Amino acid sequence: LVFAVKSGEFEIDKKGLIKEVRHYRQNNERKIINEFIEFLSIPNVSADTKNIRKNALFIKEMMEKRGIEVKILETKGNPVVYGELNVPNATQTLLFYVHYDGQPVEPSKWIDSLPFKPMIRKGKLEAGTTIPKPIQFSAIKGPINEEWRIYARGSSDDRAPIICYMAALDAINKSNIRLKNNLKFIFEGEEEAGSTNLRECLVTNQKLLKSDILFMCDGPGYFSGDPTLFFGVRGIVSLQVTVYGANTNLHSGHYGNWAPNPAMSLAKLLASMKDDRGRVLIDGFYDTVVPLGEGEKKALNNIPDFDDKLKSLYGFLTPEDPQKRLTHAIQQPSLNICGIRSGWVGNEARTIVPSLATASLDIRMVKGNEGSYMAKKVVDFIKKQGYFVTSTEPTLQERLSHAKVAKVALRESGYKAYRTSMDLPISRSVIKALYGYDSKTVMIPTLGGSLPISMFSEVLDIPVIGIPIANYDNNQHQANENIRIGHLWKGIETFATIFMMGKAQK
Amino acid sequence: LVFAVKSGEFEIDKKGLIKEVRHYRQNNERKIINEFIEFLSIPNVSADTKNIRKNALFIKEMMEKRGIEVKILETKGNPVVYGELNVPNATQTLLFYVHYDGQPVEPSKWIDSLPFKPMIRKGKLEAGTTIPKPIQFSAIKGPINEEWRIYARGSSDDRAPIICYMAALDAINKSNIRLKNNLKFIFEGEEEAGSTNLRECLVTNQKLLKSDILFMCDGPGYFSGDPTLFFGVRGIVSLQVTVYGANTNLHSGHYGNWAPNPAMSLAKLLASMKDDRGRVLIDGFYDTVVPLGEGEKKALNNIPDFDDKLKSLYGFLTPEDPQKRLTHAIQQPSLNICGIRSGWVGNEARTIVPSLATASLDIRMVKGNEGSYMAKKVVDFIKKQGYFVTSTEPTLQERLSHAKVAKVALRESGYKAYRTSMDLPISRSVIKALYGYDSKTVMIPTLGGSLPISMFSEVLDIPVIGIPIANYDNNQHQANENIRIGHLWKGIETFATIFMMGKAQK
């Protein structure tokens, strides 16, 4: 293994640390969960500014109890909660990011519980059922099982890491372990509303936030439940392609197989963009990809294979490229059709030749890809297929001068791709800190989804590594959001280990 | 010309006839229009049964004035008005069909007029304007211009032919011309409501309706404004094809370029169905087409080319097959995409891999094609592309057993294709009757659209030929429906000529 640990001494320290933290947690499970339930009882929908401030103040109080120096950073929107814990002789500063706000809620879709009345279920709510039944935590006596789950908005996304940080600090403190690193925390209050004011807050507080690394603790961990590190995210750029036929829907009898059918033109255009194994045929689509290093490739191959389970879960037999694992596929840029609209189907179907056909596409980018470059490649490809391409509604003159007319609109600027090398000294330290832990760490070079990580890296000029701790099946952004208690326990141990990580060796 | 007229005597008769009819019309224009306006003032929406009956009685009275023997044929729905005019020594019986009911109306969309308050405009209502202004006919003095139009529901579709029949009979009668053929008329009162009771009425009155030929006088004539005969219509069968990916929409970041994308699968499937010039690549698609005869091919080539005007009007440069004229293209079966739905586009776009993609297709059939055979060819083709095809929602087991899964549903049984040969003795007589008329007759082997013609031909066991007389730009089924007065005049002459057509020569 390329990330093999060389120092025997360090190994011993870590094992001891985990033993202490686990011991502390086992003796304080009820206390930890009680504090979490109190926290989760405060509504945290981004738009509910009054309760959002209650969350901020609750977090401030929790942090101050642990000796963290807290500042509420006011923005044009919801407050950012900032905290720091400085240690004498610390040689590194670690910055942790999560958001404390949550997605809007539809209480009627919560089964036998409510978003802000946290309840325990003794297992995962089975799809299409109401069992296991929710129980008030205070009504449960005796030992707590790690398969149980807490159901509440924000239980996973994204209040769980905050509770884990607090418990990890308590454990370190109670065990008289000396903290090695300065810790900083930044908790955003409007991530689910688009992080509109975050960049300005980071810029304004650049000095305050100065650190060696930022840990992004948002989102779910890997399917296997093992501690997960991710070193990058895919960027995204969205396009909308519209192709034109006649300027009005035409009767499919009177004009069918004479009037050009834009639904067919679009089908042919889209079909020409990818081969039968999902490889994008657009010239230059893969040219700017920064290849994975050897270490990253090895890490990738070490990720437990969850594909068969996912295929059963999602009800399909064969992925786009039958020979590529999910984790490997998402290390490449993707071209995805998000939607197609032309004419009508089903009960609304009309026997017409539609006047236009529209496809919504997204391109997920990896390190090296740049949004406007990728969009231009798509436009160039469409032109190469014989289309006159415009970015605005084509004029009659344009329609009458070109056999094939397409409008391509960039739907949004999107997020940039980002990837921290696993070979950076600080990356190696993070990996080392988790190495030898009782479950294998899953190290993902690039997550499939997109997060505004590059914003942190650009404004603060530091590497970013992701440490998500929630269970993958947490119903994020939906009703019945939950966290598996075993994942909370693992989160506490993971963060304690990171808090105590060794100094990056150049 | 294959339809060249051999008898000089007949020529002379016809020229004399047209001269007489035109003379009669010129001297009675105001009377004809007044009667039409009275007729058009009776609301004729199919669902308005009270007014529908008023229409029937008005028609009955008009016919009886011309010596036609009238019967109201009651059905489970609106009454059918039947009439016959028998002539001593007639050797042929001609049956004429139109419907007297009209489409529902949205009065607010009628510009400065109302559906059942007929008005004259001194020209075509220009798109996007309110001119020329509507004028009450009674307020107009002096000569009537054939470019004027009457605006009212049913002015073209389908009450105009009825007025033309009446005026043609008046002209023949006033000119002391002896009618050569027995005439029968069948006027339906619920065509716009789906002709639900027509078949039963035809079956019940089979004997009464016995004739040598049925003339279907519904719909607009050819774009050029010349008298139009059509000898067939395309049939239609509609299909809906759904292809499947995962059983839920998946995040396009986490799963994009791994989870199969059914929008792309559908694009590839549809794209494979036709070549770049619109030829259908489905095996057997053209195998059952009964080819056009030599006469039909010639007639087709004689149709004035209106394609450039249509392309300008509809705003496109190149038809599906750049080398095929509209009139020629519609002589073949077509495969048309009426609509595609998958995921979302525009403001609703979501960054997902959609779980399914659906296309609504219609096949327009020509003589020889049969709906269930054509649908089977499509299914066979989809199977050949590697799909497991089901007619119901696929089960999880089916999804997990096949890489590609499609559902194909037949949307409706549709209308059958129909074509009367132009070489039948009676067809030749009809063609001959119009030959030598001052404008060239447009003879269309098969109309692009679908009409329930095969029902008449099956139940009554007679050939059917279409004689539509309305202007093509009559706003049929829409607000501001109208008829050009010149088309009315031509309609009178056309029907008079047909009433007087010669005996079919074996």
ipTM rounded to 2 decimals? 0.90
- From the list A232, A333, A321, the residue with the least C-alpha distance to A287 is A333
Q: Flag whether residue A353 sits within 8 Å of chain B, measured between CB atoms.
A: yes
- pLDDT for A228: 95
Confidence of residue A1 (pLDDT cuts 50, 70, 90): very low
Q: B461: which 2 tokens?
A: 């066991």
Q: Residues near A6 by Cβ (< 8 Å), separated by ≥ 6? A: none
**What is the rounded distance in angstroms from the CA atom of residue B31 to the CA atom of residue B384?**
65
Cα–Cα–Cα angle for B152, B156, B162, rounded to 5 degrees: 105
Q: Which of A259, A336, A350 sits opposite B261 (nearest CB)?
A: A336
Interface with chain B: mutation pick from A265, A326, A338, highest number of B CBs within 10 Å = A338
Q: A145: which 2 tokens?
A: 């099982």
B244 to chain A nearest CA, in Å? 8
Q: Flag whether residue B111 sits within 8 Å of chain A, measured between CB atoms.
A: no
Largest CA distance in chain B: 86
Chain A positions in Cβ-Cβ contact with residue B335 (cut-off 8 Å): 257
Q: Flag whether residue B416 sits within 8 Å of chain A, measured between CB atoms.
A: no
pLDDT at A5 over 80: no
- From the list A188, A112, A133, A126, the residue with the least C-alpha distance to A157 is A188
Total-model pTM: 0.89
Give pLDDT tens digits for A220-256.
999 999 999 999 999 999 999 999 999 999 999 999 9
- pLDDT for B111: 96
Give pLDDT tens digits for A136-195.
999 999 999 999 999 999 999 999 999 999 999 999 999 888 898 999 999 999 998 888
Q: Which of A264, A324, A339 sits opposite B345 (nearest CB)?
A: A339
Chain A positions in Cβ-Cβ contact with residue B260 (cut-off 8 Å): 316, 318-320
Q: Flag whether residue A354 sits within 8 Å of chain B, measured between CB atoms.
A: yes
Mean pLDDT, chain A, rounded, equals 93
Query: What are the backbone angles phi and psi of residue B420, rounded to the nearest 5°?
Result: -90, 135
Query: What are the backbone angles phi and psi of residue B370, rounded to the nearest 5°?
Result: -130, 135
Residues 161-190 of B with CB under 8 A from A: none
Dihedral (CA of B156, B162, B163, B167) sign: positive
Interface with chain B: mutation pick from A303, A323, A351, highest number of B CBs within 10 Å = A351
Q: Hey, are the CB atoms on A343 and B337 less than 8 Å from each other?
A: yes
Per-residue pLDDT of chain B (506 residues; tens, 9 = 90+): 233 333 444 444 778 899 999 999 999 999 999 999 999 999 999 999 999 999 999 999 999 999 999 999 999 999 999 999 999 889 899 999 999 999 999 999 999 999 999 999 999 999 889 999 999 999 999 999 999 999 999 999 999 999 999 999 999 999 888 898 999 999 999 998 888 999 999 999 999 999 999 999 998 999 999 999 999 999 999 999 999 999 999 999 999 999 999 999 999 999 999 999 999 999 999 999 999 999 999 999 999 999 999 999 999 999 999 999 999 999 999 999 999 999 999 989 888 999 999 999 999 999 999 999 999 999 999 999 999 999 999 999 999 999 999 999 997 667 899 999 999 999 999 998 988 776 689 999 999 988 889 899 999 999 999 999 999 999 988 899 999 999 999 999 999 999 999 988 87
Q: Hey, are the CB atoms on B346 and A360 less than 8 Å from each other?
A: yes
Ramachandran sector of residue A480 (left: φ over 0; alpha: ψ -120 to 50; beta: rest): left
Q: Which of B334, B341, B447 sits opposite A257 (nearest CB)?
A: B334
Q: Hey, are the CB atoms on B335 and A403 less than 8 Å from each other?
A: no
Q: Flag whether residue A334 sits within 8 Å of chain B, measured between CB atoms.
A: yes
Q: Flag whether residue B261 sits within 8 Å of chain A, measured between CB atoms.
A: yes
Q: Flag whether residue A234 sits within 8 Å of chain B, measured between CB atoms.
A: yes
Q: Which of A252, A271, A319 sits opposite B338 (nearest CB)?
A: A252
| Number of inter-chain CB pairs under 8 A, A vs B | 303
- pLDDT for A7: 41
Residues 22-61 of A with CB under 8 A from B: none
Interface with chain A: mutation pick from B261, B344, B345, highest number of A CBs within 10 Å = B345
Cβ(A338)–Cβ(A361) under 8 Å?
yes
A246 to chain B nearest CA, in Å? 5
Q: Hey, are the CB atoms on B399 and A315 less than 8 Å from each other?
A: yes
Give pLDDT tens digits for A356-395.
999 999 999 999 999 999 999 999 999 999 999 999 999 9
Q: Which of A254, A278, A343 sits opposite B360 (nearest CB)?
A: A343
